Structure formats: structure tokens, C-alpha cells
Amino acid sequence: MPRKSASPRNIAVFTSGGDAPGMNAAIRAVVRTAIYYGHRIFGIYRGYEGMIDGEISELFSTSVSNIIHRGGTILKTARSARFMTEAGMAKAYEQLRRYDIDYVIALGGDGTFRGALDFSKRYRIPFVGVPCTIDNDLYGTDYTIGFDTAINTAMQAIDKIRDTAAAHDRLFFVEVMGRDAGFIAMRSGIATGAEAILIPEDKLSIKQLIELLRRGWQRQKTSCIVVVAEGDEEGGAFEVAEKVKKQFRQYETRVTVIGHLQRGGSPTCNDRVLASRLGVAAVEAALAGKKNVMVGMRHTRIVYTPFRKAVKHHQTVNPDMLRLANILSI
């Protein structure tokens, strides 16, 4: 564990990419841990865009009071095409040097860490990453900040849809987020007893889906829920519904896209605790001299994954979860 420093460092923290519930809890942990160890902490607003434009200000313990329960991010977030240019990075470096920043704590996902890795190859300001994404697809951690809240939001929405589906003998196609990964669809689908789950990692064809639903109809099911990850190769929920509904005229067919509801809202207890642990670990990793790594949680223990490995690999859906979903869908 680092000791309180006699020579304070200047540490900066920012959020980038898509927002995730729990980001504020992580910001709070980073700020208060830096202050606890006797260092100055600065907030960069609007991600890499704000880094380029010099939207940087010092944060204090009171700056992060009463935010642990709030969704979104008090530092705002943005995606930055400018940062991916040499001119943009040079401007960002100039702004960081203006505030004598020694370390940067980056809260985000794959794109955020790629940007940090590219920047550090050009300039000698090291980064430590904190995994914040509702998709849960980052390699090097069992869970990412925001995932637990997102799946609970999806679960609650699907539970409500199930009520109306049963009341009207309806076949509902529910689209959840997951452009490249099906973790949200898989977890929320199993938790709500979905009859079928379509995810990018599992090549369930329309023909197989129709057969699955037909078996349910033969067992006199009065309603069906199909959870579709937005990145499934058969298309989103509207496309899948259009392909399927002609085969099930006994059902009224409806489509619901949960969308950005999954990004918002007060983070769950799990996300708040995870964000707090990873925020503290990120600052302690920086003070211990670790460079360009992502802090994560594996089997309840803090681990460190180099950015080059975290952005090259992706966490995959456990095959046992796919098997479980198939068994329970009968």
C-alpha cells in the first residue's frame, strides 16, 4: 500500500465514451483516495475533447459529495475524433503539462483505453484505466462498472413486458443493448425466463428460433418473450420480429426497444461497491508506479491488465450460460 507522500503529485481523472451507472462512484473514490494519500487531483471535463480544450479544474473532497448514488457522470463524457489525430494529442499533452499532470486515471471502455495507449506511446504521461461500460466485454475483469445496473434495469423492464404479454397472448421481441456482446441479453433473458435469447456470440438462426417458439406454442404457452441483443447477426428486434411473425398468427406480435434506459439510473449496490474498490485501486496503482494498465476484479481480487492486452482481447459469454438458457427455455 502506498504511503502518504511528502512530495504531492498531480493526478487527473476523466470519463470517456458511453456513460455507465457507477461512474460517479468511481470518480468519488479516485478523488478521495488521491487526497487521502496527500496528492492533488484534477477533473478533466468532457473526456478527451475536454483534455484538448483544457477543461480542467482541481477537485476537492467536497467536489464529490452526494454523488455516489447518481447515474451519469459529473465530469461529462464525449467521444473525440480530434484526439485520434497527432495535432489533437499534441494539444492534449500541452494542456496536461500546463497543469503539471503526472498521472491520468481514465474511466471508460475499449475505445478509451486505446486512446490512452496511443497517447502514452507519444508522450510520457502514464495512464491507469478503470473499466466502465454496461456491455461487460472488457478482458481483465469479471465485471465492469455499470453492467449490474444495466441488467437489473433490463430485467425490471422485461418483467413488466411479461405481464402485458401474458394478458394479451402476445409475442414480444425485446431489444437490449449489446452491439458486439450479448452479456446484457443473456443475463436479463435468463433472469426473466425468456423463451429465446439472441446474441452475437451464438448463431441462432431464424429457422431455429421459429422451431423453438413453435414448441412453446405446442406446450400451450400463452405468451412468449424473445430477448435480442442489438448486435445479433439476424438484425435488431424489429428485423427479427418481421421475419418471425408470419409464422405465429395466433400471437399478437410487439417490439420493445429498452435503449438508453439501460445507461441511466441510480447504480446498484454491486456497482457502487465495485466502482469504489476499482477507483481506490486505480490511484494506488498509479502511486505504485504502474503504467498503462487497467485495474479489474477477478474472483474478488484486484488485478492489473496491460492496456495492450485489455484492448486486444474481449471477454466472451460463458458457454454454460448458453446451455442454461437453452435448458430453461422449454
Q: Per-residue pLDDT for 6 more than 60?
A: no
pLDDT recorded at residue 207: 84
Q: Per-residue pLDDT for 229 more than 70?
A: yes
pLDDT tens-place string over residues 245-279? 777 776 778 899 998 888 999 999 999 999 999 99
Cβ atoms 133, 144 nearer than 8 A: yes
Q: What is the mean pLDDT of residues 114-128?
A: 94
Q: Per-residue pLDDT for 217 more than 70?
A: no
Give the SS3 label for residue 10: strand
User: Of 185, 131, 157, 153, which is closest to residue 262 (Cα–Cα)?
Assistant: 153
DSSP-assigned letter for residue 145: B
- Which of 263, 297, 319 lies at the terminal end of a domain, its last residue? 263
319 domain-assigned: no
- CATH number of the domain enclosing 233: 3.40.50.460
329 domain-assigned: no
- Which of 263, 293, 323 lies at the terminal end of a domain, its last residue? 263
pLDDT recorded at residue 42: 98
327 domain-assigned: no
DSSP-derived pairing of the beta strands 252-257 and 301-306 = unpaired
Give 50-87 as a 3 state SS string: HHHHCCEEEECHHHHCCCCCCCCCCCCCCCCCHHHCHH
Residues 33 and 117 in one domain: yes
- CATH number of the domain enclosing 80: 3.40.50.450
Residues 34 and 107 in one domain: yes
325 domain-assigned: no
DSSP-assigned letter for residue 260: G
Predicted model pTM? 0.91
Among all residues, which ones are annotated catalytic? 135
Across the chain, what does the average pLDDT equal?
A: 90
Residues 190 and 248 in one domain: yes
Per the structure, the complete domain to which residue 217 belongs is given by 148-263
Residues 168 and 128 in one domain: no
326 domain-assigned: no
Q: Per-residue pLDDT for 83 more than 80?
A: yes
Q: What pLDDT band is residue 282 in, cutting at 50, 70 and 90?
A: very high
Domain count, the chain: 2
User: Of 278, 270, 229, 304, which is closest to residue 147 (Cα–Cα)?
Assistant: 270
Residues 63 and 166 in one domain: no
CA dist., res. 185 & res. 135, Å (int): 10
4 domain-assigned: no
Residues 133 and 33 in one domain: yes
218 φ, ψ to 5°? -65, -25
Cβ atoms 13, 42 nearer than 8 A: yes
pLDDT recorded at residue 164: 82
- Which of 243, 263, 283 lies at the terminal end of a domain, its last residue? 263
140 domain-assigned: yes
Percent of the chain with pLDDT over 90: 63
pLDDT tens-place string over residues 181-206? 889 999 999 999 988 899 888 877 88
Residues 127 and 28 in one domain: yes
Residues 238 and 304 in one domain: no
Residues 19 and 142 in one domain: yes
267 φ, ψ to 5°? -65, 150
pLDDT recorded at residue 34: 97
Q: What is the mean pLDDT of residues 151-175?
A: 88
5 domain-assigned: no
pLDDT recorded at residue 204: 78
Residues 18 and 136 in one domain: yes
CA dist., res. 178 & res. 260, Å (int): 11
Residues 38 and 109 in one domain: yes
Residues 132 and 18 in one domain: yes
Cβ atoms 103, 30 nearer than 8 A: no
CA dist., res. 74 & res. 89, Å (int): 24
